[in-house]
Amino acid sequence: MRRRARVQPAQERLGSGFNRLWTASAAGNLGDGVGRVALALLAARLTDDPVAFSAIAALGYVPWLVLGLPAGALVDRYDRRRLSVLTGTVRAVTIAVLLVAVAADTASIWLLYAIVVVLGACETMYDNAIIAMVATVVEDRDRLESANGRMQGAELVSQGFVGPPVASALFAAAAAWAFGLQVACFALAVLLLFKIPGQFHPIGDRPSTPMRRAMGEAIRYVASHSWHRSILAILLVIGLCNAMATAVTVLWAREVLGVAEAAFGVFILGGTVGAFIGSQTAAPIARRIGRGRTMVLSVAVTGAASIGTAATKSPYVAAAAMAATGWAILLWNVVAGSLRQRLTPDALLGRTVGIYRVVTWGIMPLGALLGGIIADLAGLRAPIAVSGALTLAVAAFAAVRLTNRRVDTAIAEADARTEADADAAARPAGKAGADTDAAAGTVGKAGADTDAAAGTVGKAGADTDAAAGTTGQAGADVDAAADAEARDHAESAGAPSAGTPPMPAAPASGAAHVEAPVAGAP
């Protein structure tokens, strides 16, 4: 009787290294979810000044705008696991300092500002390193969508469902308890990251390259490839439109839909639920209809749902539309983010992530301001309707640029280039050893020829001194020739000369990753 083959679950196919990375990421995200609510509650306890309170949110943007690209350059230069462990440890220690201050009743708003800045600075490197590590621990690169779907699903559950209510309950009992849980989550994440097996040093990195030149190299790479230009254009519009809509969400829900303040949290939960479903269905949809069509579908659904949201006065229809928007945004995040990991050269991945984060976070303040101006001129529905119309226009552009055929061709080229880069990285050591043996053989042969010449001179017995001088000169010429030959072998093996960095590998076509917020986005 034929035995049926056992089908392995997705987590087994992704590998044990990914499972540990996923668990570490989930623990860290739970700490982030607890911390965001606890920090906001603590700020409200420390000050009732609206400007001082809003500065907490503003300071959260600053590290990504200032340090996003430099952090990416560091991720492309050093071991990514060590960087994540280091920055994760700093995060845990930072919250521990705040925990002591809260327990001693000495916390101040200025200490809170400093805590937010330090956490944001660490997050730029920590998140960047985690994203880059996903592409390393997933053995089958065709499973990147499944891996990223699980990562983003865990983030949504930790930060959207579990973290906020737990933080609120703990803070109400004792503020220090909430920050104690955050420290424990960060410490657990560091411990799990430390135990992940494997090598996480970037392939093809050049540590001797100055930071400014390394960042310029990444900017030129992104700007010179049509994939990055197309995705960035779509990303800019989506980010702008999302910020326009979210800027007026609270006022729109209260004044247009009549949602009570007590029910607002449940109302916006629809977007988070839809986003979680999107994170889990992105990989199957991409396998069924193709990656290009999936991204086009995402943009089209986002635009249509926004227009539907603006047209209705029913809170139930609006909640359903928000769920559809969350689903579509996570569909894009998973598929486009996986493409970026697969198509971008490993040595440029950290800086590329930094560039996209800078673009995404940089456009949000402008979109929020524009949404407020449009609402003031044309009403609270107008920003949502305008954002929907612009997103649908971008969907038409995406349908032309992001075809399945183009995506599959880019993936095939990137996979071939990745294999060639890996072979090139492994080749110099083996070839250098062969060249050393060849050079030793040449020198040995030169020594034998010299001995033979000396024997001939001794046998002749005439003009011994002159012959010896001639033989010595010949031996020197032979040694010089051997040295020259060894240098030629070394140069043919690709060994760089002193002070000259090796030439970078030809970059692959790029991909994008949208970091747009979901919760509360209509």
What is the residue-wise DSSP string for 482-497?
A: HHHHHHHHHHHTTPPP
Pick the last residue of a domain from 152, 180, 200: 200
Instruction: Report the CATH number at residue 299.
Output: 1.20.1250.20
End position of a domain, from candidates 200, 232, 247: 200
- Contact status, residue 154 vs residue 22, Cβ threshold 8 Å: yes
Only one residue has tokens 């030629």, namely 488
- Work out the average pLDDT over 510-514: 36
pLDDT of 435: 45
192 and 221 co-located in one domain: no
* Longest CA span, the chain: 117
Q: CA 477 to CA 449: how far, in whole Å?
A: 12
**Res. 207 pLDDT band, cuts 50 70 90:** low
The boundaries of the domain holding residue 123 are 14-200
In the structure encoding, which two tokens stand for residue 200, read together? 């996480």
Amino acid identity, position 474: A
Work out the percent of the chain whose per-residue pLDDT is above 90. Answer: 34
- Do residues 271 and 296 share a domain? yes
Distance CA 23, CA 518 (A): 22
Model confidence over 63-73: pLDDT tens digits? 888 888 898 88
Task: Return d(Cα 34, Cα 36) in angstroms, integer.
Answer: 6
Let me know whether 53 and 149 are in one domain: yes
pTM over the 0.85 mark = no
Rg, Å, the chain Cα set: 30
Q: What is the mean pLDDT of the chain?
A: 78
Out of 51-55, 93-97, 420-424, 484-488, pick the least confident.
484-488
**CB 371 within 8 Å of CB 98:** no
pLDDT, tens digit, 9 for 90 and up, residues 274-296? 999 999 999 999 999 999 999 99
Residues 183 and 273 reside in one and the same domain: no
- pLDDT tens digits, residue range 87-110? 999 999 999 999 999 999 999 999
- For residues 170 and 239, membership in a common domain is answered with no
Note the pLDDT of residue 413.
84
Tens of pLDDT along 162-174?
888 888 889 988 9
Show Cβ contacts of residue 12 under 8 Å, excluding neighbours closer than 6 positions: none
* Closest residue by Cα to residue 340 from 329, 351, 324, 328: 351
Domain count, the chain: 2
Average pLDDT over residues 461-483: 40
Find the range with the poorest average confidence among 13-27, 263-277, 278-292, 432-446.
432-446
Q: Place 208 in a pLDDT band, splitting at 50, 70 and 90.
A: low
Based on the domain organization, do 98 and 152 belong to the same domain?
yes
Does residue 226 sit in the same domain as residue 349? yes
> Each residue of 368-390: pLDDT tens digit?
888 889 998 999 899 999 999 99
Question: Is there a domain that residue 463 lies in?
Answer: no
The reported pLDDT for the residue numbered 423 is 64
Residue/partner pairs of 136-141 with CB below 8 Å, 24 or more apart = 136/80, 136/198, 136/200, 137/14, 137/15, 137/17, 137/18, 137/21, 137/196, 137/198, 138/14, 138/15, 138/18, 139/14, 139/15, 140/13, 140/14, 141/342, 141/415
Percentage of the chain beyond pLDDT 70 is 76
Is it the case that residue 189 has pLDDT exceeding 90? yes
288 and 387: one domain?
yes
pLDDT for the residue numbered 148: 87
